Amino acid sequence: MNHDPILLFDGDCGFCAAAVRLARTRVAPQVRFVPWQIADLDTLGVTEEQADHEILWITPETGIVQAGARAAAHVLMQGSAPWRLVGRLLCLAPISWAAHAVYRIVARNRHRLPGGTTACSLPAQQRTTAHSPDSAQL
């Protein structure tokens, strides 16, 4: 059984998939990136509403779930040396407050960002499924 942490992301969002590809190549974290649409959310202890709202970091051994900017910080902390420091800084107040605010702005406007589509702004039930082909499955 794989005990690597899991980052759930929106596999229907081009911006999110591009961000995952960037994280894989630049940060190279020890984490499984999984579109929430193909994950067993019940087993992971999260709801569709949570997963559709923001990225989720899940630590399998403990079941602890971190969301949004905190989840992004955890991805960075699992990466190489310079990224680990950035991730730790993102968890410290007042930087964490700013990170949360920036995350919310990006999340609300991801359909306007590079790779984003109008589908990114729709609730999950209204989107067509086009999950990232390079993502791991649970």
Element (H, E) at 22: helix 14-22
| pLDDT by 10s per residue, the chain, length 138 | 578 899 999 988 888 888 999 999 999 999 999 999 999 999 999 999 999 989 999 998 888 999 999 999 999 999 988 999 999 999 999 999 999 999 999 988 887 776 655 555 555 555 454 444 444 434
Q: Would you call the peptide bond into 123 cis, given omega within 30 degrees of 0 as the criterion? A: no
Q: Note the pLDDT of residue 39.
A: 94
Give the chain as a 3 state SS string. CCCCCEEEECCCCHHHHHHHHHHHHHHCCCCEEEEHHHCCHHHHCCCHHHHHHCCEEEECCCCEEEECHHHHHHHHHCCCHHHHHHHHHHCCCCHHHHHHHHHHHHHHHHHHCCCCCHHHHCCHHHCCCCCCCCCCCC
pTM for this one? 0.81
Q: Note the pLDDT of residue 135.
A: 43
